[in-house]
Structure formats: C-alpha cells, structure tokens
Structure 1
Amino acid sequence: MSDDVGKRWNDPPEIRRATRYTVVVLATALAVMALAALWAYLGRSNCTEAPTLVCATPDRYVLAIAPAAVLMVGGLGAFFHTYIVWRHGGTWPAWQGAGWALMTFMLIYAAIGAGLLAE
C-alpha cells in the first residue's frame, strides 16, 4: 500500500504520459466521428430529400455510439492505468484525472448523440 500523505504530486514524465494518452484517445474519437459522418454523408443518396445530413437509422446509431464507446474504453483504460501506477507507488492522480476527463467527454458526446437519435 502507498502512503497518501507522502504523494509525489510533481512527476512531469508521468503527467506527460497521461496527457499524451488523453490527447490520443480524444483524437481517435474525433477520427471515428469524422469517418462515421463521412460514411453517413456518402450513403445519403438513398434519402436526398431528408432534412438532416444523417438520415439512415444505422448511420445515426454509428455516429452516436461509436465515438462515445471509444471515449469510454479510453477512460476505463486510464482508470486501469491509475490502479497499476498506484500499486507501483507512482504518481497516480494524473491518470485518474485523465480517466475522469475522458469519462466527462464521453458523457457530453453521448448527450449530444442522444439528440441525434431522437430525431
């Protein structure tokens, strides 16, 4: 077990690793979102008179769920890494912050995606 009172809060390499992980997960989620939007846009020939860009039901589900799933898996991975770093006595709060940030982004994207599914 580690002594929480004696934490080393200043560990720049660990903070850089957690930050890099968060940025990579966010970039991956944005790339998945862009690919899903492009896929939906290219398949739009079936419904040219629809009022929205995403008109097919499978396209809506992919666009609403896939990036949120990437963010959720990334957040869970950050929390898992938090546990590993904590067990080794390292600076774990940076990883916990990364996990909470990714979970927050996942909830925000899921709320926006729910609006897409409600149309």
Structure 2
Amino acid sequence: MTNDVEKRWRDPQAFRAAVTYVAAVIAVAAVCFAFYAIPDDHSVVAAVLVPGVLFAGGLGAFAQTYRVWKAHGTWPIWHGAGWFLFALFLLCLSVPGSAITA
C-alpha cells in the first residue's frame, strides 16, 4: 500500500493511460473547434461544445481519480490529468464568447 504523503509516485502504465485519455479528450475538443472555426457561420452550439468536451473530460478524469484512490493506486496521476483538462476548459471558455459577439 502506498502512503499518500510519499512523493515518489511511479506507475508508467497509469501515466500512459492518463496521457492517452487527455490526448483523446483534446482531440475531440479540437474536432469540435474545427466544426466551429472552418464554416463561415460560426455556430454558437459548436462553440459551446469545445469547453463542454473539456469539462466532461475533466470530470471523467476526476471520476477515475476516485476509482484509483479507492483501489489504493497512484491516483495523483489522474488528479493532475483532471486539473490539466479543467485549466484548458477555462482557457477555451472564450470560444463561445467570441461566437456570441460575432
């Protein structure tokens, strides 16, 4: 069992899983952004999907954090993935704002 205070977390398999999850969520958000940016009519619905996907992905990462924590695994890896997706969510909140003003 790992001690939560211990800072030497090393789990390459969990790290790869978290990075794959984050990359997949960002790829879906990028596709949503392409549906917003490429056409000339800048749909507000497509613009809202960009931060929506990142928010849902962050919630999914935090849910996985809880599951891994309950299983006494290396949960900080998933916790960091969740916070990274939430930070991107906050940055992408400007996309719907630009669609509304356009």
Query: Structure 2 length normalisation: TM-score?
Result: 0.86
**Structure number with bigger Rg:** 1
Post-superposition offset of 1:79: 0.3
Alignment map for 1:95-114 (pairs within 5 Å): 95-114=78-97
* Structure 2 runs not aligned, ≥5 long: none
What is the distance in 2 between the residues matched to 1:35 and 1:54? Answer: 10
Segments of 4+ in structure 1 off by > 2 A?
A: 5-8, 35-38
Aligned residue type for 1:9: W
Contact 1:75–1:103 (8 Å) recurs in 2: yes
- In structure 2, the CA distance between the partners of 1:81 and 1:13, relative to structure 1 (3 Å rule), is same
Q: Percent identity?
A: 40
Aligned residue type for 1:54: D
Work out whether 1:4 is the aligned partner of 2:4: yes
Contact 1:7–1:91 (8 Å) recurs in 2: no
- 2:22 maps to which residue? 22
Identify, as 1 or 2, the structure richer in helix: 1
Contact 1:68–1:109 (8 Å) recurs in 2: yes
SS in 2 for 1:89: coil
* Structure 1 runs not aligned, ≥5 long: 42-52
- In structure 2, the CA distance between the partners of 1:35 and 1:118, relative to structure 1 (3 Å rule), is closer
SS in 2 for 1:91: coil
- 2:32 maps to which residue? 32
Aligned residue type for 1:111: S
Q: Deviations over 1:23-73 (max 9, x none)?
A: 0000011012212334xx2xxxxxxxxxxx436xxx1x1232011111110
Contact 1:72–1:103 (8 Å) recurs in 2: yes
Q: What is the number of equivalent residue pairs in this alignment?
A: 101
Aligned residue type for 1:97: G
Contact 1:78–1:96 (8 Å) recurs in 2: yes
Aligned residue type for 2:85: L
- 1:49 maps to which residue? none
- 1:46 maps to which residue? none
What is the distance in 2 between the residues matched to 1:54 and 1:35? Answer: 10
